[in-house]
Amino acid sequence: MAAAAKWSETTMLVIDMQKDFVDPEMRSPLLVTGGEAVIPAVVEAVAVARKGGIFLVWVVREHDPSGRDVELFCRHLYSGGKGPTVKGLKGAELAGGLFIKEGDYKLVKTRFSAFFATHLDSLLKTLGMKNLVIFGVQTPNFIRQTVYDAVALDYEKVTVLTDATAAARPDIHLASIRDMKTIGVETPTLEEWRR
């Protein structure tokens, strides 16, 4: 089967791979400790998607400098026009080695799930997408919430690439992966998935 035909109904969601979440040099209060380590696997997964003709969606946070569009529990991190992933600041940029190309799609979210208060479901259903491959940071929050919403929205196959996904601690990551498996989500490594 040709790659384009094989993946024609699949979308890859790359979630929150932004400097404030994965680059220790940013000194962000929202740094995901394991995030930097998965960057090479994320870069490779994106390359596989592009080669195979998989629709690529970059899900990012870009907040108002005042923090007024951030969850209540994080608003204290915003003052003086600065805070994690403020639109236009360096921390909101994609991590090194990652970039949006023509044909990719950028989706801005302001909550954990990529589906919450966004047009993602409408976009994907309009394009005839039935399968999702999801990875990025962080496993118990952004990844898990997006996965649960995808299952609730009846996507036929939801996959999380376990070695291209990270949490603050390995035990939290593994517990979240086990939790998602219980609702029928596939959880291969990148190498297992690409076979």
Q: Assess if residue 146 is contained within a domain.
A: yes
What is the total count of domains within the chain?
Answer: 1
* Range(s) of the domain holding residue 35: 3-18+28-61+93-194
Residue 125 in domain: yes
Q: Identify whether 185 is part of a domain.
A: yes
78 in a structural domain: no
pLDDT of residue 6: 72
CATH of the domain at 159: 3.40.50.850
Q: For residue range 107-117, what is the model confidence (pLDDT) as tens digits?
A: 999 999 999 99
Say if residues 133 and 56 touch (Cβ distance below 8 Å): no
In a domain, 70, yes or no: no
The pTM of this model reads 0.96
| pLDDT at residue 5 in the model | 61
**18 CB-side CA count, 13 A:** 25
Question: What is the mean predicted confidence (pLDDT) over 89-99?
Answer: 97
Query: What is the rounded average pLDDT of the residues 171-186?
Result: 98
User: From CA 1, how far away is CA 8, in angstroms rounded?
Assistant: 11
pLDDT at 2 over 60: no
